[in-house]
Structure formats: structure tokens, C-alpha cells
Structure 1
């Protein structure tokens, strides 16, 4: 599994209805995209648990070939044409776990990026994060939880989809505008570390 996200931060007075319409009219194009496990169309609005207006889709890919095909394809070019080329962050998967609400469509999502201190043993930090991710996946209302690492910056990514309002936890909270999951079953349930 590979996680990928780009964040498009918008002006404070931006009409987020434009993003909702964009997702409603174009989101279905990835419903059958090869190599895509899950794409969560995420947005957050200034003043609603967020300091900014932002469109920040997060992808879980089953293999890098799918991610590469998307980045060179017309869907990503459409984003570039409309907003400029965003920085694309990506992480190597450590675990993916379906939660007790796995059959529900998620309403919200949480994302937390945590640096691994240089003084910490990498294996110990990852093991602790895997335990935390497993506990989070068992929380009532959790649809799915993913944990990934960026070994360039030594950063952990904790990502959870929720069937209800996300609990008050550290990190960023998003509204899920739409979910594509053509190859969700191929993400590899459990630990990948």
C-alpha cells in the first residue's frame, strides 16, 4: 500500500461550494481506476475545526503503478490546470485495517502527521504507532484506518475514516465529500511492516 495526498489551500473567502460541485460532477471518474484502493475526497472549511479552507484528497494505492498512472493522467492534470501543480506527499504503507463500521460510508476523516525523532529507534517508534493504529481501528464508528511512513522525512501518517463526526483527537479533521474504492479489497488488511 502507498498513501498519497496533496493539499490545495484556498482563500479565506473561497466558496467551498465550488469544490463540492467539482467533486459531485467529476468524482466518479476514479470509481474504476486500476490500482486505486481508496480515494477520499476531503475538504475542510475555515472556522469549522479548521484554520483554512482546503481541498485535500487522500489516496491509498494498492501499487505504485496506479499512483504513477494517475499522476501522469488527465485527472491530475485537471487539478494542475485549475489550481496549479501541488506538492504531492506520499508515504509507504505500514498497515491498513477495516474498522467496526467498515460497511458504512464515511462522513469524516482524521489525519495526523507525526515526526519520528532522530533520537528514537525507528523500529520502536513504528511498533508503537502500529499498536496505536490497531486500537484506533477498533474504535466504534471507525470505517478504516491506515498507517504509513515517509522515510525521507521520518514522518508517520495516521489516517482514519469515520462513519460519524470524527472524535476530538490530535490532527486535522476533514469532511468526506465522496469515496472511491475500486480496489479496497486489495489494500492488504493488517500489518505491512
Structure 2
């Protein structure tokens, strides 16, 4: 599993219906993308759920690096770059993935929490805690799935959870889910990824 996200932070007065319309028009194009586990089309709107910004920020869980590379280099990502400029693309190595009780339900919201891996700590212990947090999140009512990943260039953990209903019981940035493409939903290895 490999996690990926880019963020397009938009002006304060930007009409976010432009993003909603774009996703309604093109979101289905990745519904059968080879190598993709999930693409969650995410948006934050300034003043909603505590967001300080307008932002379009899709989050991906890739089953294969080849699928991710085909997306980035094969033309699909170029359309977004042509329309909005080329964003920086963050990538994390997968640590854990767990399905929640609402798996298969339509997602309404997502929560992403990034946190630094402290210096001078045993990495195995920190990663084991991240796996435990994924399991805990997946056990909460309304969770579709939870995942954790690590960026070893920045030594940052990311916890990501997708919610079908209820108020998310997770810390982090809250996003509205506009669409989910999940062609490889059944393929991510569950549990610890090492």
C-alpha cells in the first residue's frame, strides 16, 4: 500500500461549486483504474468544520506503484496540472489498513492527521502505535476504513479515516467527500504492512 495526496489551496472567495462540478464531471474516470485501491475526492471549505482555507485535496491509497506512476506520468494528472498548476504530491509508505463496520457504505467525510515522528525514539514502537491507532479508528461507529502511513523524508506519520455517518471521532483536518473511486477496495492488505 502506498498513500498519496496533493492539495490545491484556493482563494478565500473561490466558488467551491466549481470543484464540486469538476468532480461530478470527471470523478468516475478513476472508478476502474488499475492499481488503485481508493481515491477519495476531498474538499475543505473555509469556515466549515473549522477549515481556515478553501482546498481541493484528493487522498489516494494505491495497491501498486505502477498504478500510481501511470496516473502521474500517463496523462490523468496532467489535466489537473493544466487547469490549476502542478501541485506538490506527497507520498507515504503504508503502515496499516483496516476496514470499519461501515465498509461498503457511501462516505460523507474524511479526517487526516499528520504528526511528526519524534527524534530519538525507537521506530518499531512508534510504528506499532500507529498500527494500533488504525485498529482503534476502524472500530469506531461509522468508519468505512482507516489507514496509517509514514513519510520517511520528513519523518511524518499520517492517519487517514473515511466516515459514512456520524461526527468523526478523530483528530485532524476534516474534509467533505465528493466521490470515492474504489476499483481495488478488496485488494489492500489488511493490518500491519511489514
For Structure 1 versus Structure 2, the TM-score category normalised by the shorter chain is over 0.9
Q: TM-score, normalised by structure 1?
A: 0.97
Mapping 1:55-74, distance limit 5 Å: 55-74=56-75
SS in 2 for 1:85: coil
SS in 2 for 1:9: strand
The yes-or-no answer on 1:35 pairing with 2:35 is yes
Distance 2:17 2:158 in 1: 28
SS in 2 for 1:186: coil
Deviation digits for residues 36-92 of structure 1 (CA, Å, limit 9, x no counterpart): 000000001000020000000000000111100000122200110011000000001
SS in 2 for 1:136: helix
SS in 2 for 1:37: strand
Distance 1:140 1:160 in 2: 12
Aligned residue pairs, count: 193
Deviation at 1:168, TM superposition (A): 5.0
Distance 1:166 1:146 in 2: 18
Distance 1:61 1:119 in 2: 30
After superposing on structure 2, the runs of 4+ consecutive aligned residues of structure 1 that deviate more than 3 Å are none
Distance 1:136 1:109 in 2: 12
Give 5+ residue unaligned stretches, structure 2. Answer: none
Deviation digits for residues 10-33 of structure 1 (CA, Å, limit 9, x no counterpart): 000000000000000001111111
Inter-CA distance 166–88: structure 2 relative to 1 (3 Å threshold): farther
Mapping 1:42-53, distance limit 5 Å: 42-49=42-49, 50-53=51-54
Deviation at 1:170, TM superposition (A): 2.1
Residue in 2 aligned with 1:77? Answer: 78
Residue in 1 aligned with 2:7? Answer: 7
Q: TM-score, normalised by structure 2?
A: 0.97
